[in-house]
Every structure is written in C-alpha cells, then in structure tokens.
Amino acid sequence: MKKNRTLENAIAAIPSGAVIMVGGFGNPGTPFSLISELVRQGQTDLTVIKNDANEAGHGISRLIEKRQVRKLITTHIGLNKLAIDRMNQGAIDVEFHPQGILAEKIRTAGAGSFGFLTDIGIDSEITRPEDLVDWKGTAYKVEMALSADFALIHAAQADWLGNLVYRGSAINFSPLMAMAANHVVVETPDLGAPGRFKPEHVHTPGAFVDSVVPLESLTSDYGILEHHVRR
C-alpha cells in the first residue's frame, strides 16, 4: 500500500494537545518542512520531544516562538538563547534528560518495553527518592519508557512502503522515534519505488512508518549554516 501523503494532509492529522517526537540533532535530521507546515496550521498546546531546540528562527524554535509548545522534553538547548529565555520566563515548561537516557527511554518504548534501570544521574538533582529501587543490595534509578502520539522524521531516501535511509549524522534520534510513536510522518526529498534499496541497507523498516511526504526541493534550512563554518 502506498503511504504517500501531501504535506498538508499528513500534518492535518495532528490535533492540538498532541505529544510529538521530532528527529534531528541540531540541523541534520530536523524535518524542517513538516515543522513549517505545523507552524502554518497552528496546532497548539503541543508537547515536543527533541534532542535540542534548534537555533532561534529555525526548526522547532519557530513552534516555541509562535507559542504552540506547552512543554519541551529535551537534553540540551544551549545553542538557542531564545528558548532559554522562554524557559526562564516560565513561558514554556522544559524537562531535561541526559541525552543517552532520553534516547534509551524512546528506544525502550519503541521496543514495546516499559522501562529500564540505570545509574546515570543517580547522585544528581535529576533523581528523586521515589525513582530509586533496591535490587539485591544495589540502588538503581528507574527510567520509564517514553512514547508519543506522532513522530516527525526526515529521511534522505524512502520508498512508498515507508522503508527509510538516513544520511550522515542525521540518523541520531530518528530510527528510535520512528519505533516509539503511534503515527510516524516522514518527509524525504528522494521518494522512489520499492526495490530501490538493498534490503540489508534499510535503516528503518516500513512497518514503523504511516505517512511519507515527498519534498520537491530542500529549503535553505537544510543547507550549510554560515555561522557554523570555521574560517
């Protein structure tokens, strides 16, 4: 069955109040086109789960700037002063996790399990007494799985069954989120017929993907950011 959707239809499935995972670490992997459409349609009261807040004026920062986001579950927003200011003003609720713990919480949900035990941050203020369990004389922190209503994913290449291939460092959280969300929307500038990939080269199998949105071209957001080029 073809999973092709238009940009407008794919994003219109998202209601206000939804919990949305967004792939990407910095720019690579950020689905800028899906986010732009979400900004245009204007759904509000969103909970967004993303590694970072992109940079001011780009990606999910635009959702924060338009006050569509109630809560951000993330690991690091140090490259977005605007998001830090909004957090300090109390305009957005920000929940920080250690990066690999966020990844593992998402992976765990994606694997159909409910939680795992760790010692990361066990001595720090991110651990509350009620998060601890004692097992055979050792204390562990319980980390619960993290799922979502939707995942928004950028793939370098896809076929219309939803098989995905990522590029460069754009893999990051995307394959994990594609497994953990109930409805997975993928954008790609390169959509083709099944058979185009060697089966062993597929990163995310199509079973996890619900909608594939072909992009006619990539905007400047996907290009080189001049202020990150070393001179």
Site string for another protein, 15-54 (x = CB under 8 A): ----------xxxxx---------------------x---
- Binding to another protein by residue 56, rule CB under 8 A? no
181 phi/psi in degrees, rounded to 5: -100, 150
Strand order in the sheet with 69-74: 93-96, 69-74, 46-49, 19-22, 148-154, 181-188, 211-214
CA pair distance 40, 15, nearest whole angstrom: 14
- Binding to another protein by residue 208, rule CB under 8 A? no
Considering the complex, state which of residue 14 and residue 64 has its C-beta at the smaller distance from another protein: 64
Name which position in 44, 76, 142, 214 contacts another protein (CB under 8 A): 76
- Binding to another protein by residue 147, rule CB under 8 A? no
With H, G, I as helix, E, B as strand and everything else as coil, classify residue 69. Answer: strand
Q: Is the separation of the CB atoms in 74 and 53 below 8 Å?
A: yes
CA pair distance 122, 127, nearest whole angstrom: 6
Considering the complex, state which of residue 60 and residue 103 has its C-beta at the smaller distance from another protein: 103
**What are the tokens at 107?**
């992976």
**What are the tokens at 221?**
């957001």
Site string for another protein, 177-206 (x = CB under 8 A): ------------------------------
CA pair distance 230, 110, nearest whole angstrom: 38
**What are the tokens at 230?**
């070393």
Shortest Å distance, C-beta 114 to another protein: 17
CB within 8 A of 224, min separation 6: which ones? none
Considering the complex, state which of residue 14 and residue 73 has its C-beta at the smaller distance from another protein: 73
- Binding to another protein by residue 168, rule CB under 8 A? yes
Shortest Å distance, C-beta 36 to another protein: 17
Scanning 123-131, 135-143, 186-194, 205-213 for contacts with another protein by CB under 8 A, the matching segment is 123-131
Q: Which residues of 138-167 are buried (b: 16+ CB within 10 A; e: fewer)?
A: eeebebebbbbbbbbbbbbbbbbbbbbbbe
Name which position in 75, 157, 188, 211 contacts another protein (CB under 8 A): 75
Nearest to 73 by CA among 144, 19, 151, 15: 19
Contacts with another protein: how many residues (CB under 8 A)? 53
Name which position in 79, 82, 142, 202 contacts another protein (CB under 8 A): 79
- Residues forming contacts to another protein in the complex (CB under 8 A) are 25-29, 51, 55, 74-79, 84, 87-88, 94, 96-104, 106-107, 119-121, 123-126, 156, 167-176, 222-225, 228-230
